[in-house]
Amino acid sequence: MVMLPLFGDQADNVQRMVARGVAESLTIADVTTTTLLEALNKVIYDKSYKANMMKLSAVLLDRRLNLLTWPSSGPSLS
């Protein structure tokens, strides 16, 4: 992912993804055709980004969902 934080907690979320090795970050002041193409090429052609995303995906998919406790511990709709 090439991420461009613009508002609120986006900068924190972007830094978390960069730290996990699944994203490159650009600031609005840094965005040029050259910097965007460099970031895109890095993410597309560097295999480590895909490998790190696969590891992160496996961790998230490995969580067990307990249907008996989910309503009390899951997201609230109210």
The pLDDT tens digits along the chain (78 residues) read: 999 999 999 999 999 999 999 999 999 999 999 999 999 999 999 999 999 999 998 888 877 666 666 666 555 555
Structure tokens at 9: 């907690």
The span from the CA of 19 to the CA of 75, in Å, is: 27
pTM: 0.72
Map out the domains of the chain as residue ranges: 1-49
Distances (CA, A) of 19 to 1, 13, 38: 13, 10, 19
Which H or E run contains 3? strand 2-3
Q: What is the predicted pLDDT for the residue at 32? A: 97
